């Protein structure tokens, strides 16, 4: 049995979710009517109606949701113009065009203030660092800032690296391709510049994400670029940054597990410390709505979602509370479930969804069960569990 080809159509991209980046579409060639889901979950061509098994009602409902979902819509719209695309073609089609993929974000409350501060720091040729718990929007803000900066300067160079224990200075600086180095020696042609070297050469923005997860050894390799705006490339020499090079740091507060302390020397290189916290109610609700463009839910439910996540942030038994992502996830799942069955009680749906989402997104203090805390928060906010 041969594999089913992957087909896709290049034209008419679907309506874009602002957070979405992929423009292309991939799908099996068979139309949904010609397929049936086997018990093993694989998709086979229907043989005859007499062999058709009765599907449980819930399963059929879920199938309808898949057909209705705008997130999967391009999968069905490609079926008119069947054309087998190679992986290379898919790669080329899916390459993100920065100009077409403008991101939009909510810029009220702290977010407006932070963008302004980053802008002022950049204009004064200083170095900022964003500090805040996971999921408050640090990375989103930096990416957005790089975009608006590009609109003004015409230079859209933006590089970033998320640090962890295994990040080495060579991941920042770059490395030599062994085969070319053997042939040509340690020349620039054999060198693959890393993201920091690229940003420095191009006078662009470099985001050092989760910078305090890096070891001190790697943190120290940032001193030269920050202090002297130069970087040493082994065997080649030192290069200086082009005008416009702007380094932004981002990190979670160092009390959180899994982070190293930021070394004193590196700490001193950051001039402006920008703190981000969980946003105020109206801003968070706007962010949730913004990231749930298709399955809208009513204001009252949005408020309850906010209350659910907010309670995790004030709860004395929780070490790491729910982030903005949890609210966004609950809104999407609740919206989908309501559209699946309008007759169900929307509070009950949210209660169920919250169980699935919150238990995994909070970290309770030692000895406390996440499930128990989640159940009590749901009962407080919704009245059911």
**Closer Cβ to ligand ADP, 135 or 194, answer by number:** 135
Stretch that binds Mg ion, among 66-74, 110-118, 138-146, 254-262 (CB under 5 A): 138-146
Helix axes 324-340, 299-314, angle to 10 degrees: 150
Least distance between ligand ADP and beta carbon 257 (Å): 15
Phi (first) and psi of residue 186, to 5 degrees: -80, 75
Alpha-carbon gap, residue 38 to 47, rounded angstroms: 12
**Cβ count within 10 A of residue 226:** 17
Q: Among 139, 155, 215, 220, indicate the residue that binds Mg ion (CB under 5 A).
A: 139
**Closer Cβ to ligand ADP, 36 or 286, answer by number:** 286
Q: Transcribe 155-211 into DSSP letters.
A: ---EEEEE--TT--HHHHHEEE-HHHHHHH-S-GGGEEE-HHHHHHHHT-EEEEETG
The answer to whether 259 contacts Mg ion (rule: CB under 5 A) is no
Residue with tokens 């929307």: 346
Stretch that binds Mg ion, among 20-28, 70-78, 135-143, 212-220 (CB under 5 A): 135-143
- 137, interface contact from ligand ADP, Mg ion, none, CB < 5-8 Å by kind: ligand ADP
**Closer Cβ to ligand ADP, 75 or 140, answer by number:** 140
Sites of contact with ligand ADP (CB under 6 A) = 19, 105-106, 111, 132, 134-140, 287, 290-291, 324-325, 328
DSSP state for residue 7 in the 8-state scheme: B
Alpha-carbon gap, residue 234 to 176, rounded angstroms: 9
Q: List all residues 6 or more positions away from 49 whose beta carbon is below 8 Å from its beta carbon.
A: none
Least distance between ligand ADP and beta carbon 244 (Å): 24
**Closer Cβ to ligand ADP, 190 or 262, answer by number:** 262
**Closer Cβ to ligand ADP, 200 or 322, answer by number:** 322
Per CB under 5 A, residues contacting Mg ion are 139
């Amino acid at each position: 049995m041969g594999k089913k080809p992957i087909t896709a159509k290049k034209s008419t991209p679907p309506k874009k979710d602002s957070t979405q980046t992929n423009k292309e579409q991939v799908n099996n060639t068979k139309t949904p009517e010609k397929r049936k889901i086997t018990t093993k979950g694989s998709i086979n061509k229907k043989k005859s109606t007499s062999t058709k098994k009765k599907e449980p009602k819930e399963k059929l409902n879920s199938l309808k949701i898949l057909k209705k979902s705008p997130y999967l819509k391009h999968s069905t719209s490609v079926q008119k113009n069947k054309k087998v695309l190679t992986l290379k073609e898919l790669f080329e089609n899916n390459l993100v065009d920065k100009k077409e993929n403008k991101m939009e974000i909510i810029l009220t409350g702290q977010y407006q203030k932070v963008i302004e501060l980053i802008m002022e720091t950049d204009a004064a040729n200083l170095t900022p660092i964003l500090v805040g718990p996971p999921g408050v929007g640090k990375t989103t803000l930096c990416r957005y800032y790089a975009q608006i900066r590009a609109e003004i300067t015409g230079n859209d160079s933006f590089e970033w690296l998320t640090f962890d224990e295994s990040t080495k200075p060579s991941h920042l600086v770059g490395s030599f391709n062994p085969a070319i180095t053997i042939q040509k020696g340690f020349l620039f042609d054999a060198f693959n510049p890393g993201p920091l070297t690229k940003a420095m050469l191009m006078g662009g923005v470099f985001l050092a994400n989760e910078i305090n997860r890096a070891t001190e050894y790697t943190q120290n390799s940032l001193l030269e670029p920050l202090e002297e705006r130069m970087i040493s490339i082994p065997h080649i020499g030192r290069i200086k940054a082009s005008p416009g090079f702007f380094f932004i740091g981002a990190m979670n507060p160092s009390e959180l597990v899994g982070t190293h302390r930021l070394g004193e020397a590196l700490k001193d290189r950051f001039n402006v410390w920008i703190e981000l916290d969980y946003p105020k109610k109206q801003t968070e609700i706007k962010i949730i709505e913004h990231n749930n463009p298709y399955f809208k839910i009513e204001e009252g439910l949005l408020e309850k979602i906010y209350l659910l996540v907010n309670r995790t942030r004030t709860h004395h038994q929780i070490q790491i509370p729910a982030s903005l992502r949890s609210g966004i996830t609950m809104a999407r799942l609740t919206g989908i479930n309501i559209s699946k069955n309008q007759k169900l009680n929307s509070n009950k749906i949210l209660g169920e969804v919250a169980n699935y989402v919150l238990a995994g997104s909070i970290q309770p203090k030692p000895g406390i069960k996440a499930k128990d805390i989640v159940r009590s928060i749901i009962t407080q906010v919704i009245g059911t569990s």
